[in-house]
Structure 1
Amino acid sequence: MIVLSNDFINGTYRLSKMQFMIIFRLAERIRQEDTDFRTESFTLSEFVGLKKGQAIGNLYEDCREACKFMKGLRLRIGKRTYQVLEFVECPKYKGYIRLRFAKALQPFFLGLKQNFTPVDFEDVQKMGSGVRIRIYLFLRQHLTLKNRHFDFKKIKAMLGYLPKAYPRFKDFDRRVLQPAYSDIKKFGLLDVEQEIRFLGRQIDKLVVKIKGAVKKVKKAVVPPTSAKPPMPACNTIPGLPPWMNARTLEKLRQEYPEDYLMYAVQVVEQKDNVENPMGYFRSLLPREDFQKEFKAHVSELAKKQHAIDLQKAAAKEAEWESHVYQLFSERNNACRQQFFEQHHNRQTVEVYLRHLQKGRNLPHNRRYYQEWMKCQLMFDALPEQSKIAYKGWLVKTYGERGDYDQKFFATEMKNSAYYQLFMER
């Protein structure tokens, strides 16, 4: 069960079905005693509600893109705009996403004691589009009033349509309202009837009569001999546009690549002023300019992915390079300690000490001297005056926190030959 503030329901915004699912999935995790939003983790299969045997298609990628888009999205509620998500983590090929509501939305989801509407997640998930979900929420909000009054211009604005969109009520009713009523009745959510009231020749108000929930009728059992073949898997994909017929899409897959078809679907869905989406969709497919646009889109995605892969490779390379430097330094120091153990006399120690002090501006020399001083055997052999003087120089130059320790790995490989030349002399 999801609990939404009525102020949130009555906001002025337009969301896709996938974007609504993101909000509802997070709202579903909220507890009554919560005082702050938590970062919630979901598997992608759980998040999109994918069932066993259901085709994936581009559903996962659409979900990831919708989450990224929602992070920068702001909704107008009342006279203010509010950020929706303040944290989004959806790594590619990891199979999970992590999300958190922005704190500004707390008044609309947390501690609601009045002016709220409870909604069942399964009910809204059945709706065919984000606009249909909004209309259902409007009606569900005023279920006890039995009649919901809409102003034509205001309802268009609340649904996120520009004033120029659907200037005629006939088109708005056919393309927006009636499909929503159809879904609401089809899934047994509410029994609604619409009445149009005129003021002169102009439409004054829309009155939607709400009669409560429809009794769900059990489907008749079809004998096995007359059972119809199963519909294509794409018919069960949540988010498939209501204007797209599953059988038609299956036939088109034999002529065009699936990613090309899905790109065309997205282009059509992003346009608000298309009166015949299916006709426009079919007209796009054979056009050479649209095919070039799709190739450019794929190329751009490939470039972005290549850049991401390069960044990951560079990060991994730097990690291994640092590891190699550290191993080489440890091995080089071990060889040096072994040399002094075999030639342990004050003369050898003092010669090497003078060499290090003479070239102490070299990072690898400071590194060697520091490690040498840590060894108790070599520490005892060092002249006390030189030892104190060099320690003082290290502290004065790099501070007491030992920041100089981090400065040696980067030049270890480059300067290691210097020590080898000294040892060969």
Structure 2
Amino acid sequence: MKNMIEKDILIIGAGASGMMCAIESGKRGRSALVLDHAANIGRKIRISGGGSCNFTNTNTSHTNYLSDNPHFCKSALSRFTPRDIIALLEKHDVKYEEREQGQLFCTKSSEEIIRVLESESNNAGVNIILNCRILGVKKDDSFMVSTDQGIFGSESLVIATGGLSYPRTGASGIGYMIAKKFGLKVTELKPALVPFIFSPEDLAIFGELSGVSIDAAVKCNNIKFRGSMLFTHRGLSGPAILQVSSYWKEGDTIVIDLLPETDIYGIFIAKQQSKSKIDMHNLLSQYLPSRFAKTWCVSNIQSKPVNQYNEKELRKISHQLHNWEIKPISTEGFETAEVTLGGIDTNELSSKTMESRKVKGLYFTGEVIDVTGQLGGYNLHWAWASGFVAGQYA
């Protein structure tokens, strides 16, 4: 077509997976062009880890991911490991640090990751067009992508558009629309790693606790996570809550152990045997934030001096503390979700190449695929790994 710019490979999306794919493809001598609607590359990278970018996790394995096919991610993860992204950053003298549970962060800021991607893409001869809106995609003998900055053609097309989470960064459903246009299935899409919203009844009781944090073990559908739980003005957040939200379905109850690894029943009995007259909410304030302890006692039990409870009552209170049940009315949705659960059905793709089984030359990478990581750098690592793999073939 006249005035159409042709490249070997077009990548829609200048995030972690799209940039990694472009770099790897460029290293193979392929002419690569990245198109993105944003003004800068890596918008989601910039806000990752509170601006420090939790770029991977040393414990990464397929067990850290949710998918209708839990084995799909194995191949890519084995071919691009945490050691590989570490080596790339070390090559560019990026300093990093390990925090809890194997999470790796930039010592300075996420801008250093952006600098690495820009340097590597320049060295690989990758072209990038920003502020570029996609108007249409089709395929005859080759792919043709119409944009507000021109028409581009290519032998291979990579969709690295991310999911629906964080719409303020420009996230949209374009990747899913392109997949459906070419006849690929998309699984149910849901917000994941997202805070919960209290029911009106629970909000009336616990809404005043906004800012209170508790180290807890949170369980839903037999999946349990230990970590911080934070009360917000709308419900519950914090790492343990975000983790379990990926496993929660509407109507489910979450079960919270407020005192993991604490034998609170043994403490009750010891206090009772010493004939302690300390009020229950004051005793619990020694192990839990006092504002929460008082509110919890008001809503769950009748607080009175410990020596006035019988053994059966103390056992029941202990059980309630280790199995506090909350039934969220919903999550906060895609607006605050860190990732999207679901995506391009993995049965539609080759786990070795990320190429569509139906459409030759069409590839998908990153969050747009039905592979969703737990909190802690796993989602960004999936972006690196899937982008790397696609870049070897696209």
TM range (shorter): under 0.3
Give the number of the structure with larger relative contact order, counting CA–CA contacts within 8 Å between residues 6 or more apart.
2
More helix by share: 1
More strand by share: 2
Bigger Rg over Cα: 1
**What is the TM-score with the length of structure 1 in the denominator?**
0.23
**What is the TM-score with the length of structure 2 in the denominator?**
0.25
